[in-house]
């Protein structure tokens, strides 16, 4: 035989029914939003991991093409990387690697295109700085000093500032602006640590301009 709820239980049940009638719909929507957000977050993380794995595999293909000096395959794999995974660090790494291979093969235009892509698309400041330095060197070799300076015109991480200053000094020297070049070399020398081998090269450039950095002057 069914038992009857006592008055206290009945009152609690009535209160619950009243509460659910008033707030039940809102609670349901909140739960849907919360669990939906969790599902979306998990899905996003899974997609990110999948994309990273695919980009890594494609980067291996870029490296293989670069090692084989296969220009056609290198261009194709680089294009696939830029199209499918342009926002990853692998894309910037691939472009820098491709530019190096093209430079060694004497394909300056292709190298410039790869480096310019890094400048326009990479979100990694270090890769952008490397691209600036290499592009400026290419433009300088092509006797385009103005374009070389333009390539160097941009913010770079502090660790790259001495190298940019040194490269800017090289361009200014080609333009016959020795005093301005000297100032850039001085900036580069001051920014490099005493144990940095590259600092020795900057010292040679300064010496050619009449500035001798003696042992006692070194910081």
pLDDT digits 0-9 by tens, 54-69: 888 888 999 999 999 8
Query: For the whole model, what pTM was predicted?
Result: 0.74
The answer to whether residue 27 scores a pLDDT higher than 80 is no
- Higher-pLDDT residue of 156 and 23 is 156
Report which of residues 58 and 44 the model is more confident about. 58
Counting residues of the chain whose pLDDT is more than 70, the rounded percentage is 75
The residues, ordered by sequence, that sit 6+ positions from 193 with a Cβ below 8 Å of its Cβ are: 199
Residue 57, pLDDT score: 86
Spatial contact of 78 and 62, defined as CB atoms under 8 Å apart:
yes
Tell me, what's the pLDDT at 47?
46
pLDDT of residue 167: 96
Element spanning 159, H or E: none
Within a 10 A sphere around the Cβ of 86, how many other Cβ atoms?
15
pLDDT in tens, 159-208: 999 999 999 999 999 999 999 999 999 999 999 999 999 999 999 999 99
């Amino acid at each position: 035989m069914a038992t009857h709820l006592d008055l206290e239980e009945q009152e609690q049940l009535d209160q619950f029914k009243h509460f659910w009638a008033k707030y039940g719909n809102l609670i349901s929507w909140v739960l849907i939003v919360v669990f939906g957000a969790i599902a979306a977050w998990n899905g996003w993380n899974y997609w990110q991991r999948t994309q990273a794995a695919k980009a890594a595999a494609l980067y291996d293909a870029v490296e293989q093409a670069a090692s084989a000096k296969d220009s056609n395959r290198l261009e194709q794999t680089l294009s696939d990387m830029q199209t499918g995974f342009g926002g990853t660090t692998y894309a910037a790494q691939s472009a820098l690697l491709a530019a190096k291979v093209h430079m060694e093969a004497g394909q300056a235009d292709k190298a410039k295109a790869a480096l310019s892509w890094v400048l326009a698309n990479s979100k990694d400041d270090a890769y952008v700085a490397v691209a600036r330095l290499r592009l400026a060197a290419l433009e300088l070799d092509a006797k385009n000093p103005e374009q070389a300076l333009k390539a160097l015109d941009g913010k770079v991480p502090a660790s790259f500032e001495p190298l940019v200053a040194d490269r800017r000094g090289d361009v200014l020297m080609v333009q016959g602006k020795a005093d301005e070049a000297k100032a850039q070399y001085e900036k580069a020398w001051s920014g490099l640590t005493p144990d940095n081998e590259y600092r020795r090269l900057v010292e040679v450039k300064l010496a050619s301009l009449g500035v001798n950095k003696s042992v006692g002057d070194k910081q």
